[in-house]
Amino acid sequence: QLQLQESGPGLVKPSETLSLTCTVSGGSISSSTYYWGWIRQPPGKGLEWIATIYFSGSTYYNPPLKSRVTISIETSKNQFSLKMSSVTAADTAVYFCARHSCSSVNCPFDPWGQGTLVTVSS
């Protein structure tokens, strides 16, 4: 059974870079069948797609966030990562990693990781 687990600092200072990693178990991140993505949810608010990556390195970004976000993949570790620069309090959110259920960025997310709360504060 495929499982995803987010990890990274729970507290980041304003203007610094947020870095998160998603470790995939129970399946290979190098599979040509799936894409992998990040989604976030500010406290008490809705979901926002951030970025998606394919094992080949192809990347897709939400336009409003594109200038600050980098998604990358490390197939040898079965992990993919998210970096978001110049963070502000508005970036405080639960960050989820998830697998797209087929080989397109348009495929739905299934399954999801449990999520990790990142707070931006000095």
Distances (CA, A) of 41 to 1, 31, 32, 64, 103: 25, 27, 28, 15, 24
- The site string for another protein over 83-102 (x = CB under 8 A, - otherwise) reads -------------x----x-
Task: Confirm or reject binding of residue 108 to another protein (CB under 8 A).
Answer: yes
Task: Confirm or reject binding of residue 106 to another protein (CB under 8 A).
Answer: yes
Task: Confirm or reject binding of residue 10 to another protein (CB under 8 A).
Answer: no
The answer to whether 77 and 61 have CB atoms below 8 angstroms apart is no
Residues 117, 58: Cα–Cα separation, whole Å: 27
Give how many residues touch another protein by CB under 8 A.
24
Task: Confirm or reject binding of residue 49 to another protein (CB under 8 A).
Answer: yes
Task: Confirm or reject binding of residue 47 to another protein (CB under 8 A).
Answer: yes
Which residue, 52 or 92, is less far from another protein as judged by CB? 52
Q: Which amino acid is at 80?
A: F
- Tell the residue number behind the tokens 């960025």, with chain if given: 105
Question: Which of 1, 10, 63, 76: binder of another protein (CB under 8 A)?
Answer: 63
Residues 73, 69: Cα–Cα separation, whole Å: 14
In the complex, which residues of this chain contact another protein (CB under 8 A)? 39, 45-49, 52, 60, 62-64, 96, 101, 105-115
